[in-house]
Amino acid sequence: MTASQIIFYILSAFILGTAVLSVTTRKIFRSAIWLLFSLIGVAGLYFWMEVEFIAAVQIVVYVGGIVVLIIFSLFLTQQSGEVMAKAPVVRKIAAALAVIFGFALTYMLVQQNGFEATGKPFDWSVEKIGNSMLGTADNGYSLPFEVVSMLLLAAMIGCIVIAMKAKPEEQQ
Amino acid sequence: MNGIPVNNILFVSIALFFIGMYGLFTRRNMITMLMSLELILNSVNINFVVFNKYLYPDKLDGLFFAIFIITIAAAEAAVAIAIIINLYRSHRSIDVETAEEMKY
């Protein structure tokens, strides 16, 4: 077993273990922290695959943005030390069965398909990504780029409108 | 190739997807459901990057899809949290069972 394989197995165990803890713990703040570790593990997996750009984006957007947003909203809406109510046993069993069967079926499909790596080196660079992201020729992604920028603008305005407090009546 | 077959990496992403599904099924708190959703989106991202790196190494489309999914996940989380905070103001609770008036 090479060091690369050992690192992969450690990373996978880390990702899956923290993800399981994140969906099963009953303290909501701990759940957010386990989610943070799981996302960092996924970023580590991208580093292991030598796709450093996606790993950096993952850390910046997920770990630095989304988890911090989730933790802030927890502080705004919950007592952080509070223990959540237990899910009913029937629901837990049904969910576990559905999940296990779904996992088994999906993994069986993947096994039967037998994906084989081509073994060619993966040549990406930030320069290629940038040229292709704003390119209008073949393999250019400038139209989705613009659409996503419109979506971000709409989401920003929507968030402000939704979360804005209604004006008190006497001010009008 | 690092000595790891593609199937093992796909195993991780599929397991992460179904862990997220389990959270979505059992949790009744909106913020924890949102966290499970983030796990699911992450597993999809791993899939895109793996397929791009190992099966189509001369293309970049998987990376673009991963980047766009990350962007949309960020926007979606922001909108969801705005809605949750607004709901908490009016209902004093973020449990999905208490937010059922919209059904009628």
Shared domain for A69 and A105, answered yes or no, is no
CATH number for the domain harbouring residue B86: 1.10.287.3510
Q: How many separate domains does chain B show? A: 1
A49–B74 CB contact, under 8 Å: no
Looking at the domain assignment, is residue A120 inside a domain?
A: no
3-class secondary-structure state, position A83: strand
* Of the residues A62, A84, A106, the one at which a domain ends: A84
Q: Over the stretch B35-47, which tens digit does the pLDDT of each residue have?
A: 999 999 999 999 9
Shared domain for A95 and A159, answered yes or no, is no
Mean pLDDT of A115-140: 84
pTM of the entire predicted model: 0.89
Q: Which of A4, A53, A71, A77 to substitute to test the interface with B, most B CBs within 10 Å?
A: A77
Q: How many separate domains does chain A show? A: 3
B2–A159 CB contact, under 8 Å: no
Expressed as residue numbers, the domain containing A143 is 125-164
Shared domain for A5 and A80, answered yes or no, is yes
CATH number for the domain harbouring residue A72: 1.20.120.1200
Expressed as residue numbers, the domain containing B43 is 6-103
ipTM: 0.90
Whole-angstrom Cα distance, residue A96 to residue A31?
19
**Residue in B23, B59, B83 nearest the CB of A23:** B23
Residue B53 structure tokens: 């790196």
Shared domain for A109 and A129, answered yes or no, is no
Confidence of residue B1 (pLDDT cuts 50, 70, 90): low
Whole-angstrom Cα distance, residue A54 to residue A46?
7
Within 8 A of B75 by CB-CB distance, chain A residues are: 151-152, 155
Quickly tell me which residue has 């409108």 as its tokens: A161
Q: What are phi and psi of A83, to 5 degrees?
A: -95, 135
Whole-angstrom Cα distance, residue A3 to residue A33?
28
A2–B1 CB contact, under 8 Å: no
Looking at the domain assignment, is residue B1 inside a domain?
A: no
Q: Over the stretch A9-40, which tens digit does the pLDDT of each residue have?
A: 999 999 999 999 999 998 888 999 999 999 99
B10–A76 CB contact, under 8 Å: no
